[in-house]
Amino acid sequence: MTLLEAKSLEVGYASTGRGGRARENRVVFSDLDLLVPDDRFIVLLGPNGSGKSTLIRSLSGMQPFLSGSIEILGRPIADLDARERALRLALVLTERFDAGWFDVFDIVAFGRFPHETFGEAPGPEDRGIVRESLAAVGMADFEKRLFAELSDGERQKVLIAKALAQATPLLVLDEPTAFLDAPARSEVFHLLRKQARSGKGVLMSTHEVDLALREADEVWLVDRRRGLVVGPPEELVLSGAIGAAFDGPDLSFDAMSGRFVAPTAAPHRSVAVSGDDAVGLAWTVRLVERLGMSLDEGPQGYDAELRVEGRSGSSARAGNDAKAMPERRFVWIAVPGTAGPQRRLFTLAEVEDFLRDVASSGGTSSLGP
């Protein structure tokens, strides 16, 4: 089912035509044809300042658009008054506000305002829905806490609960992860995907590339040159659209790893990394990349070889004083053209020292103590 549909949409800011200057609209996007169906998690992805908020505000009726049409559940958005709109579309905004003495329950109960069951105070049905919404975002125990005393992540979850309490088919969020730390960002993405799986159409804007590619059903990618590119996240990676939109002079998108990487700095050293300890291997690779070394074989072969073979028994049982005992792994370290490989327990810090030696000395490193 189509929840929101935009046709030939042009968004931006109408000129005020002041001072006798020519009236010229500032167009942010033009010629957009967009569709939000139910059961879909759509992420509007773009760098900061690329016009995401303008588009979100236009699509949710908070800002007039320049031309074209927007329909919500088959009705032109301009025909809906604020209450009718609030029954169809719930909005989570970035603007911060001082909630005074309102507690978490009160804030979520605001989501019940447009409903008939809410007179001057929430009725029994409203109270039930408020508590369900709080439970859905994992904030059931926070009901009596003052909203003003919550952390940024907790606030954002409560605001999402408020939007859920609005019980609308459409959920639109403007940068809900902007002020959050990494775990809270992931949590918000998971939460919204779950809402989409339960049948809602969810549209959120963000500049979080990693999470968007991993969680979204569809990405609307803001590209400064080409406007809005729409497609499944995997396709946008393969077509190079993500890279085209985000690459800067210092960072480029690596389609293989799905991460942004800095171009490797010369001098170029290459390190062969292998092993059967998957986690240890993955982070050893990260270490090699961080030091600006290549994992591909160079013209003269590898400058060093690492083989990661797994954790020592001692570190596995030292779980409770992990701080005192750094993680050690059995690593084979070999430098071609020198004495045979050395296999012993290394911490990654020691491996890093070794790699730095390799990088600076051009492959004739000693193995240290």
Nearer to other proteins, 93 or 293 (CB): 93
Residue pair 365/354 in contact (Cβ under 8 Å)? The answer is: yes
Nearer to other proteins, 86 or 293 (CB): 86
Q: Pick from 199, 235, 231, 234: which is nearest to 35 by CA?
A: 231
Shortest distance in whole angstroms from residue 66 CB to other proteins: 19
Check residue 95 for interaction with other proteins (CB under 8 A): yes
How many degrees, rounded to 5, is the angle at CA 57 between CA 171 and CA 190?
35
Nearer to other proteins, 84 or 210 (CB): 84
Nearer to other proteins, 93 or 213 (CB): 93
Check residue 85 for interaction with other proteins (CB under 8 A): yes
When binding is defined by CB under 8 A, the residue of 25, 127, 309, 338 that contacts other proteins is: 127
Beta bridge partners of 136: none
Buried b (16+ CB within 10 A) or exposed e, 174-205: bbbbeebeeebbbbbbebbbebbeeebbbbbb
Residue pair 237/210 in contact (Cβ under 8 Å)? The answer is: no
Sheet strands (E) in 77-200: 89-92, 170-174
Binding segment for other proteins among 114-122, 178-186, 261-269, 335-343 (CB under 8 A)?
Answer: 114-122
Check residue 102 for interaction with other proteins (CB under 8 A): yes
| Residue recorded with tokens 């499944």 | 232
When binding is defined by CB under 8 A, the residue of 41, 65, 110, 189 that contacts other proteins is: 110
When binding is defined by CB under 8 A, the residue of 12, 46, 51, 111 that contacts other proteins is: 111
Check residue 135 for interaction with other proteins (CB under 8 A): yes
Nearer to other proteins, 138 or 362 (CB): 138
Check residue 66 for interaction with other proteins (CB under 8 A): no
SS3 labels along 57-68: HHHCCCCCCCEE
Residue pair 243/253 in contact (Cβ under 8 Å)? The answer is: yes
Residue pair 201/38 in contact (Cβ under 8 Å)? The answer is: yes
Check residue 19 for interaction with other proteins (CB under 8 A): no
Check residue 86 for interaction with other proteins (CB under 8 A): yes
Check residue 60 for interaction with other proteins (CB under 8 A): yes
Binding segment for other proteins among 34-42, 99-107, 197-205, 286-294 (CB under 8 A)?
Answer: 99-107
Binding segment for other proteins among 141-149, 217-225, 233-241, 343-351 (CB under 8 A)?
Answer: 141-149
Q: How many residues does the chain have?
A: 369
When binding is defined by CB under 8 A, the residue of 149, 181, 247, 254 that contacts other proteins is: 149
Check residue 62 for interaction with other proteins (CB under 8 A): yes
Beta bridge partners of 84: none
Paired tokens of 171: 């959920």
Cα(10)–Cα(226) distance, integer angstroms: 14
Check residue 90 for interaction with other proteins (CB under 8 A): yes
H helices, E strands: number in the chain = 12, 16
Check residue 98 for interaction with other proteins (CB under 8 A): yes
Nearer to other proteins, 115 or 307 (CB): 115
Paired tokens of 112: 């019940």
Check residue 121 for interaction with other proteins (CB under 8 A): yes
Q: Helices 278-290 and 348-361 meet at what angle, rounded to 10?
A: 40
Amino acid at 42: I
Beta bridge partners of 89: 170
Nearer to other proteins, 88 or 328 (CB): 88
Nearer to other proteins, 72 or 99 (CB): 99
Check residue 13 for interaction with other proteins (CB under 8 A): no
Cα(333)–Cα(259) distance, integer angstroms: 28
Check residue 297 for interaction with other proteins (CB under 8 A): no
Shortest distance in whole angstroms from residue 347 CB to other proteins: 42
Q: Pick from 331, 339, 322: which is nearest to 285 by CA?
A: 331
Contact residues: other proteins, CB under 8 A: 57, 60, 62, 81-87, 90-91, 93, 95, 97-102, 106, 110-111, 113-114, 118, 120-121, 127-128, 131-132, 135, 143-144, 146, 148-149, 162, 166
